[in-house]
Chains A and B, each alone.
Chain A
């Protein structure tokens, strides 16, 4: 009897902790989403009003009229291009590292280490090159620079996925006279499709979130959402409604994506260390 009470107490305590944690982790997200639907009077009200009394879409209207869709397009275009490039080049290299052990033990780790390169250590040469090429404020500048962190990531992740494919499948194909590239393309690659999708989603997320390179290399034409957002944080006036609306625009696609790759979330975030 005593044990039973003790157990149910522990169980209640558990759910209480979970409840508190959920409130802590979700409250800020809910708050910024609600702000998107508040009127100026509501988000500039002291004490703050929690739920918008007269929900409005005027903030969304404003961002659509002030180039918000262009920024959304830029983000999608840049992130998609980098993702495709990283996947193509990365899966080729990942395959060679996994199967042929190119460069021994050190090459994979060298490539992985590039993932942690601080952006500030390479930004200045890029500034000078892109100025000289008149590539400042262009999509291709950001696409190239985003390869610095996405390509190493993609190589490393894909290597992990290829290692898991039993080697016998290709061996029999190679014995039958299949070229190494064909074996890679039409036999092994289809087997790692889930891994390819998961890696791609993470490359997309990293590019989508990136801010430092984007703020240094874009002005107006090629700004992605992350650089577009600070426009509404003026020195004189802070347009919280618009900030909320852009934030919502930036969050929703990723929430869906993270749902799609739920099975691979841990693996993707821990660089394959936890499966």
Chain B
């Protein structure tokens, strides 16, 4: 038995427990990887909470993702799943089409979208132009960069959609039939039969979405780098462009990356990591505790 568990025990201690403890320790130190760590007490945290001008921006951007992008993703996935569940013809083909973008590697998908949404000559603005609409500047405009990332995220929502679809198709038919007998219309059946029955799956999707939102990195990093290169024609993708345009895509993990692996302030980056850890746990806990009110605890929730 110990033999069965040994890989995990080793992995857990080496890649989970040790770095967690070490992260906490380093967060009280000044450490640049070259000279040994120097104890500085709470200085990193003081700087994090009161001085660093970019932290607040990064926190706001990440909160935007969790407050706007994640709910839109869940809503969209749910809507598509509902329509797919009612589709009489071609449900399999539609399911494949909606799932496919979820597979696109994030870097490739982001590059594709930065090009398609390129303000001057990109295909989307060209088509909008033919329709007499003056397209926005998308990834070049601080007000549109996060919505552009949201469109990209919705495009890749296939996983959630497939999970919702399976859950909706799993709702026992007799529940709908008895609701219909009681005179419930389609909307009422959705509200009082479908939603309560699949609520554990919705909770699962929300938690995964929020966790994904907290670690959202790749798309923001790549979009900022490529869009800024596009604007300056310098085609120079370095960390100096992160957050482009005007820090509007500077999400918390990107800022952590800048401090840790571009400036090599390992102590300060550890303090940022500890804050992320606490917030991740707090957010997950709040959702789980709150969910007792709306998640159906029937036989489905095992």
Q: Do A and B come from one complex?
A: no
What is the interface of chain A, defined by CB distance below 8 A to chain B?
none
